[in-house]
Chains A and B, each alone.
Chain A
Amino acid sequence: MTPRFPIAVLQLPGVNCEHETALALEAAGLAAEIVRWTRKDLDGFAGFVIPGGFSFQDRVRAGAVAAREPVLTAVARAAEDGRPVLGICNGAQVLVEAGLVPDLDQEGQIEMGLAPNSIPGRRGYYCNWVYMTPTARGLQSAFGRAFAPNEVVPVLAAHGEGRFVTKDPAVEAAMRSGEIVGFRYVRADGGPARGFPWNPNGSLADAAGVMNARGNVLALMPHPERAAWLRQVGWEVDGTWGAARRSGQGDRAALSGPGPGHRIFTSIRLYLEARAPDGVRTGAERAIVEPKP
């Protein structure tokens, strides 16, 4: 398959997941290019991914300084165009601090925060497998098309500030109703998380990923790129993915197959193919437009 859609993986100073994220995008049939945050000509990209890490060393507040960088104007323009924009972990923090998620007022106001994890009896960074499932809105979004309804996927949480919070009643209602939550934390059997460790940070409405209302921008705290191949799935993971990982031991072909996180990146490709069947090549500036009614 020849990749048709160029995706910019934004290399902000301090991120550390750009290469594995680019590999995961390419494995899903997308043309990933790692671009530095100072680059200007970004309008030719079919979508953006802001990867995980510690942009600007998390100074002031995770994602806060990066969100004020001029490059976010290009990302905001892509979001407005309907192009897919995915922020993973620190990238999610940047999108929230930039007001691109959830952006219910569509004026770029900061409508929520990613607060420090709230974990009974401890604080700080938490790193472990968690389980998430797409919501009904998530399935329709740019990031859920490759998922089955109620499918439970293991992914890795690795963050200190992953608790989605808001003081805006309209945003809280939209989160609780599932209108803007793309992925929720659940138990390994798909049941409601109901607290730690299934919800690893105390996030409102068990939100693992929050979207804009249009569903083309997603702030996702867990790392799908760390579960993009079956070989990356932990031996200890529950459910069908864990069973597949264990039974694939010693089988290189099986372990080189797609993992649960692959679905996020495949979903982006499916979304782009639905929007622009002929694809977009680098340099074809802003060729992706909304389909005419």
Chain B
Amino acid sequence: MIADLTLAVELKSADPVALTAAHALTHRLGFGKVLAELRRMDLWRLRVEAAGIPDALALAGSWITGSNRFVNPNKHVYELSARGGEGAGSAGRGSGRVAWVVATSEPDLDGEAAARLIRDRFGGRELVEARRAVAWMLRFAPAVNPAEVRRLAESMAVARSRTRGLLANPHFQPVAIVREPRSPEAAIEIWG
């Protein structure tokens, strides 16, 4: 079988990239009254040929800890999970004021390089595919109408001009926006 795994990697400490992005969004682009919190994480999709999910998780775990390519244990925490669980990617029952923006890159050079490394260093012929995305979690202020969340997230995410949008340049970084996924990893479902 081919197991579809998701690796979510986040900094243990304050994320300077997210802080800088939040500062630009709130102080330069006029989202000061609507953006309450911004987080960022790396998402990896690893498709692994294995006898079962436990084997796939163990194999991918050995690549992750053995390569330093995905995770630096000094500064990162991570979760590795199998995709496709019940309810993944569906709307949750939160405040309605959280959106995840998942930005990929065309072409996915990081994914290709990671796959090459796994095959070269570990002989990892079981790795079918590696893909990378950056996920931004946007939590909006209580005053924001939940019906506006998707539109606001889109206007923060897609860079249209120096006064509109920031997180992804649409000429090489396509984005997908998920409102209230049950877990950050679930946002990755938009990869299809």
Contacts and interface: CB of A to CB of B under 8 A. Distances in A.
A108 B160 CA distance: 9
A289 interface: no
A113 B169 contact: yes
Contacts of B151: none
B20 A67 contact: no
Interface residues of B, number: 27
Interface string A91-131: 00000011100000001111111011010001100000000
B171 interface: yes
Contacts of B163: 68, 108
B170 interface: yes
Contact of B171 (A64, A108, A112, A123): A112
A123 B110 contact: yes
A194 B112 CA distance: 23
B74 interface: no
Interface in B16-45: 16-17, 20-21, 24, 28-29
Nearest to A60: B21
B160 A110 contact: yes
Nearest to A100: B162
Contact of B161 (A57, A109, A118, A123): A109
A108 B17 contact: no
A116 B162 contact: no
A171 to B, nearest CB: 9
B169 A59 contact: no
Of the candidates B105, B106, B160, B161, the one having the most CB atoms from chain A within 10 angstroms of its own CB is B161
B21 A59 contact: yes
B17 A60 contact: yes
Contacts of B21: 59-60, 65
Given A56-B20, A59-B20, A123-B110, A166 B171 contact: yes
B113 A69 contact: no
Interface in A132-172: 165-168
Interface of A: 56-57, 59-61, 64-65, 67-70, 72, 76, 97-99, 107-113, 115-116, 118, 122-123, 165-168
Given A57-B20, A110-B171, A116-B105, 4 more contacts: A60-B167, A99-B161, A108-B161, A115-B106
